[in-house]
Amino acid sequence: MYKPKTAKLHVNLRNIFLALSAVIFILSAGANAQDVVKLRDLVEENGFGWIMGEWTATNEQGQKLQTSYKWELDGHFVAMGFQMGELKGRGMIFYDLNEGQVVQVGVDNRGGVVKGAWEPDGDMAVAKLYYTMPDGQTNKMGITHAKVDADTMKVSFYPLGDYGELSEEPMGTMEYKRQKKEAKKKPIPLLKVDVVL
């Protein structure tokens, strides 16, 4: 059967267009995959992987504070937990590609909201956070995290200036201790007894 040349040309152009589209898609997908920045990689490159885990401290009033940092979603964000007495908070820390910075957002059981950013400062990880209370008032604070040894972290709390700079002297400093994971206890084996009747 006779096919007009225009139909054949139309089929060839469509095939070329589809092939070209597939190549462009593959190349752009590869480029986008290279642009992905994992928070875990940034943390490890800057030497702050030691902060991951569960930590406790006791303040001057004898109140216990608990903080935890746990990797989630293949290292793209850190699930963070905080508890001091009845106050409990949860947050996430992630790398915001658009902002080009490590961001923290969180909430507490009293309706407060925390927003801020993390950055390295020498051998310290610094969180600059803005806490908005349910009544609308906002407090700002800088928190430095410094490794003392594998199981000890020094945390200092600073007022923040108008441009986000830490004050010269901290308002307070606490020493956190890493909490060891308890080893799973082996079950006691059952004693096998043969009963003869």
Q: Are residues 7 and 97 in the same domain?
A: no
Within-domain flag for 183: no
The enclosing domain of 94 has a CATH number of 2.40.128.20
User: Which residue range forms the structural domain that includes residue 11?
Assistant: 1-35
Asked if residues 118 and 91 have their Cβ atoms less than 8 Å apart, the reply is: no
Q: Tell me: do 57 and 124 sit in the same domain.
A: yes
**Cα–Cα distance, 24 to 12 (Å, whole number):** 18
Distance CA 108, CA 87 (A): 7
Query: What is the number of domains present in the chain?
Result: 2
Q: Which residue has the tokens 């990689």?
A: 41
Asked if the structure places residue 184 within a domain, the reply is no
Is 68 contained in some domain?
Answer: yes
The per-residue pLDDT for range 127-149, each reduced to its tens digit, is 999 999 999 999 999 999 999 99
3-state secondary structure (DSSP) of residue 161:
coil
Strand segments, DSSP code E, in the chain are: 53-58, 64-72, 77-84, 87-96, 101-108, 113-121, 124-132, 138-149, 152-159, 172-178
pLDDT in tens, 150-177: 999 999 999 999 888 999 999 999 999 9
Q: What angle do CA 152, 43, 105 make, to 5 degrees?
A: 90
Answer yes or no: are the C-beta atoms of 39 and 78 closer than 8 Å: yes
Domain annotation covers residue 194: no
Same domain for 81 and 45, yes or no, is yes
191 occurs within a structural domain:
no
- Asked whether residue 86 falls in the same domain as residue 48, the answer is yes
22 and 101, same domain (yes or no):
no
Residue pair 101/119 in contact by the 8 Å Cβ criterion: yes
The amino acid sitting at 111 is G
Cα gap 177→53, rounded to integer Å: 10
- Token pair 């908070």 is found at 89
Strands 113-121 and 101-108: antiparallel
Which pLDDT does position 61 carry in this prediction?
A: 87
pLDDT tens string 4-62: 555 554 555 555 555 555 545 555 444 444 567 899 999 999 999 999 999 999 988 88
Flag whether the pTM goes above 0.85: no
- Same domain assignment for residues 27 and 48: no
pLDDT of residue 19: 53
